[in-house]
Amino acid sequence: MKCSVFCGVSVDGFLARPDHKLDFLDAGGQEPHGFDEFYGSVDVVVIGRKTFEVVLTFGEWAYGKKQVVVLSSHQPDFTSIKNGVVEQMSGEPAEIVARLDKRGFKHAYIDGGITIQRFLAAGCVDRMVITRVPILIGAGIPLFGPLAHDINLHHVATRSFKGGLVQSEYEIRST
Amino acid sequence: MKCSVFCGVSVDGFLARPDDTFDFLMAGEQVPHGFAEFLASVDVVVMGRRTFEVVHRLGHLELYGRKPMMVLNRRALDLSSVKGGLVEQMSGEPAEIVVRLDKRGFKHAYVDGGITIQRFIAAGCMDRMVVTRVPVLIGAGIPLFGPVPHDIHLHHVATRSYGGGMVQSEYEIQSEAQVQ
């Protein structure tokens, strides 16, 4: 099963403000930049508990009928979710990937700062599409975190959009 | 006087490793990516003490093209080992440094070094950034960006990719007046 990251960050590398607000992601205008196509290509979404809690505040369940896995050591409260397909899992990234692969999933969308960092550090991310919004916010939830060793990236493509968004796609070379 | 940054970073935003080494930028250094043109456009270099010490120790001061070099440090530095007499020490807030250098007739400063870049950006004294991202994640190091007193809006000028997977983005920094 392949694992991909598709996310927006400030130029200084934050996915969200310290209070999890995402308002600054509008700074480059809200042009379509391939998310719908990407979302159509995945069959399971893997998010952490914090991201799950933020997503719940959006009101309507954001993921439609796509299988969502919430990584958490405790059972999250799924009672408010109508018409979603969601379950809790726990374990190391490699374990999660193996279990989802056994169940027939082909392409996972990995989201949420801590979860992305854990999967990257564990060598479990195959592809990253990072869209940088033209703003510096100074503090927040960072996309990247500590690593046990350098991770070399293979640059696939970069494109920019009228409002100043710059989107780079990388494949991750396994060591 | 305009102030610009021209630097290389890892994709996770580090200028150097925690020990100040920057081997991971070396592959990118070999590919021409506009540095010579940028250097030709500046008439003074402003850097922090730590960057000066690292570069001086490596014997690489001439990479800054024999431009006058202002090393920012609160206390006087021992510059006796520096040949050529182009290095001076200055201290003060970024805005003060800019005013003084402007008064001396400098037109375009190349600001370098993590802490110094962060201070100038936070003080609203940076006009332009050219950031070249090298395709590697190193996990820890000297970050390019730091805390800012409020959001800083950027105007994207251009982005280019270079051999070896380097991606270079140029931004102008909008002053608060422009954003409102």
pLDDT for position B97: 97
**Cα B172 to Cα B180: distance, rounded to the nearest angstrom:** 16
Give residue A67's pLDDT band: very low, low, confident or very high (50, 70, 90).
Answer: very high
What is the average pLDDT across A34-59?
94
pLDDT for position B180: 45
Q: Is-contact A126 A4, C-beta < 8 A?
A: yes
Beta bridge partners of A135: B153
User: Does A35 have pLDDT greater than 60?
Assistant: yes
Number of helices and strands (H, E) in chain B?
A: 6, 11
Give residue A31's pLDDT band: very low, low, confident or very high (50, 70, 90).
Answer: confident
Instruction: Tell me the pLDDT tens digit for each residue of A118-164.
Output: 999 999 999 999 999 999 999 999 999 999 999 999 999 999 998 99
Q: Is-contact B136 A150, C-beta < 8 A?
A: yes
What are the chain B neighbours of A149 within 8 Å (beta carbons)?
Answer: 139
Per-residue pLDDT tens listing for chain B (180 residues):
999 999 999 999 999 999 999 999 986 667 888 999 999 999 999 999 999 999 998 888 888 888 999 999 988 888 888 877 789 999 999 999 999 999 999 999 999 999 999 999 999 999 999 999 999 999 999 999 999 999 999 999 999 999 889 999 999 997 655 554
pLDDT for position B176: 57
Q: What is the mean pLDDT of chain A?
A: 94
Please check whether residue B22 touches A, CB under 8 A.
Answer: no
Chain A residue with the nearest C-alpha to that of B167:
A158
| Whole-prediction pTM | 0.94
Interface mutation vs chain B, best among A9, A10, A11, most B CBs within 10 Å: A11
- Number of residues in chain B: 180
pLDDT for position A174: 63
pLDDT for position A83: 87
Going by their DSSP bridges, the two strands B69-72 and B87-90 should be labelled as: parallel
Please check whether residue A168 touches B, CB under 8 A.
Answer: yes
Q: Tokens representing A95?
A: 């374990």
Chain B residue with the nearest C-alpha to that of A133:
B154
**Cα A72 to Cα A86: distance, rounded to the nearest angstrom:** 12
Give the up-direction half-sphere exposure of residue B169: CA atoms within 13 A in the CB hemisphere: 26
Residues 106-165 of A with CB under 8 A from B: 120, 130, 132, 134-139, 143-155, 157-158, 160, 164-165
Find where tokens 């050219």 sit.
B130
Residues 55-114 of B with CB under 8 A from A: none
Give residue A70's pLDDT band: very low, low, confident or very high (50, 70, 90).
Answer: very high
Please check whether residue B162 touches A, CB under 8 A.
Answer: no
